[in-house]
Structure 1
Amino acid sequence: MYPGTWAARTPDKPALVMAGSGRTLTYAELEERSLRLAHVMHDAGLEMGDVVALLSDNRPETYEAYWAALRSGLYITAVNHNLSAEEVSYIVRDCGAKALLVSPAKSELAASLDVEMPTMLTFGGDYEDALAAATAEPLAAQPHGDDLLYSSGTTGRPKGIKPPLPPIAVDEPGYVYPTVFGALYGFDEDTVYLSPAPAYHAAPLRFGGVIHTLGGTLVMMEKFDAEGALRAIERYRVTHTQMVPTMFVRMLKLPDDVRASYDVSSLRVVVHAAAPCPVDVKRRMIEWLGPIVHEYYASTESNGATFIDSQAWLRKPGSVGTALMGTVRICGDDGGLLGPGEVGTVYFEREQRTFDYHNDPDKTASTQHPEHDNWTTVGDLGYLDEDGYLFLTDRKAFMIISGGVNIYPQEIEDLFSLHPAVTDIAVIGVPDDEMGERVVAFVEVAPSAVPGDELAAELTAYARERIAHFKVPREFHFRDELPRTPTGKMVKGKLRDEYAG
């Protein structure tokens, strides 16, 4: 199934609604407009396996572009529009895009790019002219396309993740995301799914596509804010949503009377992913919403996944669950398998390798197990307990080694997640002549708190009461804002560069 299926069955049903403005795209409109755009791309010379890039804020045309690509055997590269012109230029060049679709809000950024683009259309302008001039006749063939998305670049240049194109037509079953997640979370025609995150990220983009494949309604926020999300849940009677832990924290820090003033009883499933969730935060979400909070652990690479529901999580607090796609393997630095409770690199075993890094064979090779071609890792560290539940400790790139001891920043960051003086926190290791590395914290201070030595002393005392003293940050640096992506990933490379400077 795909939007064309639902355009025939329920043409006037909203496929997409913008949460703030209420602007709506019906299934009939999504089908016709994505079909016209597919013809525009074909007439511009794009062939199966070519790439169309998208530089846009959240708006209905996002999914017109998505489905035009997926019904044409094309790759779509949705680009983070908050990047600099140089960074966007790199991605557009690296992916080899032959067409670029731009929203009016990003037209100035697009004009400053250092790329030669044979086809570039701006939503609302020449884009509408191109669609009007194109035929709405069905395509002769509709080979299934896919996304070619770039990592957040939290530890270096973004990497393009290129899967093989699915060997199916767009209206045939077998595409991985509807197949796996549709059944897992009960997505169907009655689903009203709130997407509060930017659609240039993997999970928001792909899950929106899942909703359209299965005939539900996607409610897309223009931009996340905590009370706005509650307002949208009440207004549209949202049944499912997916958030990241920082969004949970923002909602939990709303005044109790504000949270209580919104009717969220329509919710059946609240999914979270993308970044580790502090135990106290998740426990409070379950206490507030009930046992409807689900979690999966995966990556843009889609090399494997785990999942856990509320009931299992309450038995195994902090776990990201058991295998959903692939088999979890925990390995030491020498590649050998580790036993229960032993921290090592998290690999997923699949029948075959599922991705390559575009234009980067060395990086691709670095993800592979030294002895097994079909075991891959994205660099996370963790352990399995005796029941096979996976617990993540941190990313290998973020681990601090101080005095020969491994320190995982995630544990320290989780400790402060609900502290009233802390809006956000990032912990890094910096060079130290004596210890090798020392622990340093960057803190985004809550409006009610005053940054300075007194607050640093308070946070130090708070930590020393709760964790081993060697893990307590030796320095606290206060900032108005920390460099976190909208899907919750902290860009620690920027903090390391700032500290070094």
Structure 2
Amino acid sequence: METAAFQFAGQDIPWLLAGWAARQPDKTFLIWAPHSGPGRSWTYAEFWADVRRVAAGLAERGITPGDKVLLHADNCPEGLLTWYACATLGAVTVTTNTRSAPDEVTYFAEKTGCVAAVTQPEYADLVTAAAPDLKWIAVTDAFEALYGDPDTLPAREADPLAPAGILFTSGTTSRPKAVVHTHANALWAARIAPSTLRMTAADTYLVYLPFFHVNAQSWSIWTTLGAGGTIVLQPKFSTSRFWDVVTAHRVTHISLLPFVLNAILGQQPPAAHTLKAGVFGAVIPELDAALGFSVLPAFGMTETVTPAITAGPGLPPAPRSMGRSTPGYETLIVDPETGEVCADGRPGELRIRGTRGVALFAEYYDDPAATAKSFTDDGWFRTGDIVRLGETGDLVYCERDSDLLKVGGENVSAREVEDVCRQVPGVADVAVVGGPHPMLDEVPVAFVILRPDAADSGDIGAAVIDRCREALADFKVPRAVHVVDEFPRATLDKVAKNQLRDRARELAAH
């Protein structure tokens, strides 16, 4: 038995659920708090019972261990039940962004070899058209039709390193990569994150970020499962209902993004609220004072499963830093060109090391070349993020790879957008960078060089945006297209995207 698997021998995700259902059957695990219509709650025992019913129904429909099931849905209880039912059965849930264009859904389903899908009524036609080879599609408005007899569930030995879920993440490549998380990844997050994110059995995590992202799946839900706490699930973030939900359900923990911060800071919080912690990217004392609760620094990626850099116990990290390595992870800052360790405060690429399939993701699905490229020979994962070492050993974020944008919490590959823009007749070359946005932090902005025979530049701009709307999720579509004669160049004749970002800010200001 591999050393990694030995650490979780006899354990997997259904083992975790069953354990809590036995130890605290009447404790509330999940509260569904929709913006309209009736809500509902599940105790740990009720949730485990429904997971087993759905797992039995999936088995009756032909789903077997290792099969991939597409979950294309906004936050909803049926989505959680499907994910944990697949894990219980030994199948793998492929969670996809509901803002994706049909071509993207086709890619997701074909890349992972999905055999079936669960979706919501508003997405049923899209999934049917985008993935015609699926054996069946279940829709959440008739979800109970999936229920089967849990007594018929086939016995399955725990395999901690078996895949449990696949999430698609946009790096700097033109196509999103399929990140494989194992059962051991979930168990690792459940074991480590409660202490680093200060979560206890008495705490409640409000989940409004989408379930198809690692923040909801792992940082929020696996952390809560590890602590034996409670989840409050919303379809999406609601500015108008935020404090009402926090107060009604005595929420203690949330995840923060810039647009969430902007919304919360625009309201007067209740005099006596229960919020204790907001998980964010850095130590910002001014935010603590403005919000009235602690802002916990945390850095992680889909590939790191849970935050790999956090505040940790002891003395607090320096202001504006992300904290220090989470136990179980190692961090290093290196010059990306020479590999020299940057221990003197110089910016360099952040690299993270941990056990694959446990602290780090297992692999990029069906992409051994991308998996190999993302790791050094001695096991360091290349994040592509630029950081520096602070005076007291804290890690300070500098910038991300210029080809990776962060649009309202969504990762966007500039290269993927550029590849679509190049499909427009008349476009000779294109460079996509992040431009400023008051709520989303940044949005894609395209700089285009025209072919000599191109049509009017205004028509090209509209054509570029129209083509991107056809092929890409809405958050990937450029908000502006600027025609230029040439790109500024840096060393080795690379496009100087830093100068283009400056130009995008100047144009947005006018």
TM-score, with structure 2 as normaliser: 0.72
Equivalent residue number for residue 180 of structure 2? 162
Q: Give yes or no for contact 2:276–2:293 (8 Å, CA) kept in 1.
A: no
1:141 aligns with 2:156: yes
2:128 to 79, 102, 111: 111
Match of 1:150 in 2: 168
State how far apart, in whole Å, the 1-side matches of 2:330 and 2:257 are. 25
Report the CA distance between 1:478 and its aligned residue. Answer: 7.4
User: 1:98, CA displacement in angstroms?
Assistant: 2.3
Question: Counterpart of 1:493?
Answer: none
Tell me, yes or no, if the aligned pair for 1:294 and 1:309 is still in contact at 8 Å: no
Please state if 1:182 is matched with 2:194. Answer: yes
Amino acid at match of 1:350: G
Which residue is equivalent to 2:322?
320
2:167 alignment partner AA: L
Alpha carbons 1:296, 1:320 under 8 Å: kept: yes
In 2 relative to 1, CA 345–29 (structure 1 residues): closer, same or farther, beyond 3 Å? Answer: same
Quote the Cα distance in structure 1 between the aligned partners of 2:272 and 2:79.
Answer: 27
Query: How far did residue 397 of structure 1 move?
Result: 3.1
Within a 5 Å distance, the mapping from 1:90-101 to structure 2 comes to: 90-101=107-118
Which residue identity is paired with 2:370?
Answer: K
1:361 corresponds to 2:368: yes
**Residues 312, 297 of structure 1: CA spacing in aligned structure 2 closer, same or farther, 3 A cutoff?**
farther
1:306/1:16 Cα in 2 relative to 1: closer, same or farther (>3 Å)? same
Q: 1:343 Cα deviation (Å)?
A: 1.3
1:128 aligns with 2:144: yes
| Residue type at the aligned position of 2:244 | R
Report if aligned partners of 2:128, 2:137 keep a CA contact under 8 Å in 1: no
Q: Structure 1 residue 116: deviation in Å? A: 0.8
Q: 1:331 aligns with which of 325, 329, 334?
A: 334
Aligned equivalent of 2:468: none
Corresponding residue SS for 2:189: helix
Q: Cα distance 1:118–1:348, how it changes in 2: closer, same or farther (>3 A)?
A: same
Q: What are the superposed Cα offsets for residues 115-140 of structure 1, whole Å, 9 maximum, x if unpaired?
A: 41123211232x31231x43345652
Cα RMSD (Å): 3.3
Q: Does 1:391 align with 2:396?
A: yes
* 1:54 CA displacement: 0.7
Counterparts of 1:157 and 1:330 in 2: how far apart (Å)? 27
Distance across 2 between alignment mates of 1:122 and 1:352: 35
Which residue does 1:475 correspond to in 2?
506
Could you tell me whether the CA contact under 8 Å between 1:12 and 1:28 is conserved in 2?
Answer: yes
For residue 378 of structure 1, give the secondary structure of its aligned residue in structure 2. Answer: strand
1:61, 1:123 within 8 Å by CA — same for their partners in 2?
Answer: yes
Greater CA deviation, 286-295 or 2-11? 2-11
Whether the 8 Å CA contact 1:196–1:229 is kept in 2: the answer is no
Match in the other structure for 1:171:
none
Greater RCO between the two (CA within 8 Å, min separation 6)?
2
Are 1:245 and 1:272, in contact at CA under 8 Å, matched by a contact in 2? Answer: no
- Which SS does the other structure have where 1:377 is aligned? strand
Q: Which amino acid aligns with 2:150?
A: T
Q: 1:391 to 1:381 in 2, by over 3 A?
A: same
Residue of structure 2 in register with 1:226 after alignment = 239
1:34 Cα deviation from its structure 2 partner: 0.8
Supply the distance in 2 between the matched residues of 1:230 and 1:95 (Cα, whole angstroms): 40
| Counterparts of 1:105 and 1:142, CA distance in 2 | 37
TM-aligned CA deviation for residue 312 of structure 1: 6.0
Q: Are the structure 2 counterparts of residues 37 and 12 from structure 1 closer, same or farther at C-alpha, using a change threshold of 3 Å?
A: same
Q: Judging changes above 3 Å, is the alpha-carbon distance between structure 1 residues 264 and 50 closer, same or farther for their aligned structure 2 residues? A: farther
Deviations 1:62-107 (A, max 9, x none): 2111211222222221111111111112111111222211122322
In 1, the alpha carbon distance for the partners of 2:404 and 2:63 equals: 44
1:23-38 residue pairs with structure 2 within 5 A?
23-38=40-55
Report the alpha carbon displacement of residue 439 of structure 1 after superposing the two structures with TM.
Answer: 5.3
Distance 1:375 1:34, change over 3 A: same
Equivalent residues of 1:379, 1:397 under 8 A apart: no
SS in 1 for 2:508: strand
Q: Does 1:216 find its partner at 2:233?
A: no
| Residue of 283, 291, 294 corresponding to 1:292 | 294
> Residue 434 and residue 26 in structure 1: after superposition, are their counterparts in 2 closer, same or farther (change >3 A)?
closer
Q: Note if 1:198 corresponds to 2:215.
A: no
Query: SS at 1:251's partner residue?
Result: helix
* Equivalent AA in structure 2 for residue 387 of structure 1: T
Letter in 1 for 2:276: R
Q: Distance in 2 between matches of 1:10 and 1:311?
A: 31
Unaligned runs of 5+ in 1: 168-173, 401-408, 443-470, 480-501
In 2, Cα distance between equivalents of 1:434 and 1:240: 45
How many positions carry a matched residue from both structures? 414
Q: Distance in 2 between matches of 1:91 and 1:240?
A: 32
Deviation at 1:247, TM superposition (A): 0.9
Tell me, yes or no, if the aligned pair for 2:171 and 2:404 is still in contact at 8 Å. no
Residue 352 of structure 1 and its aligned partner are, at CA, apart by 5.2
Is contact 1:427-1:440 (8 Å) kept? no
> What code does the residue aligned with 1:338 have?
C
Query: Which one-letter code corresponds to 1:366 in the other structure?
Result: K
SS at match of 2:338: coil
Query: Match of 2:467?
Result: none
The secondary structure found in structure 2 opposite 1:25 is strand
Instruction: Report the CA distance shift for 1:114/1:472 in structure 2 as closer, same or farther (over 3 A).
Output: closer
The alpha carbon displacement at 1:246 in A equals 2.3
Distance 2:339 2:444 in 1: 28
Larger mean Cα displacement after TM superposition, 59-68 or 2-11:
2-11
- Give the 3-state SS of the residue equivalent to 2:309 in structure 1: strand
C-alpha separation in 1, matches of 2:129 and 2:350: 40
Matched-pair contact (CA < 8 Å) for 2:109–2:131? no
Q: What pairs up with 1:230-249 in 2 under 5 angstroms?
A: 230-249=243-262
Aligned identity (percent) is 23
CA distance in 1, matches of 2:215, 2:111: 22
1:200-238 CA distance string (max 9 Å, x none): 111102222432454322101122122322221111111
Shift of 1:424: 4.2
2:32 is the counterpart of 1:18: yes
Q: Does 1:345 align with 2:362?
A: no
- Equivalence for 2:22: 8
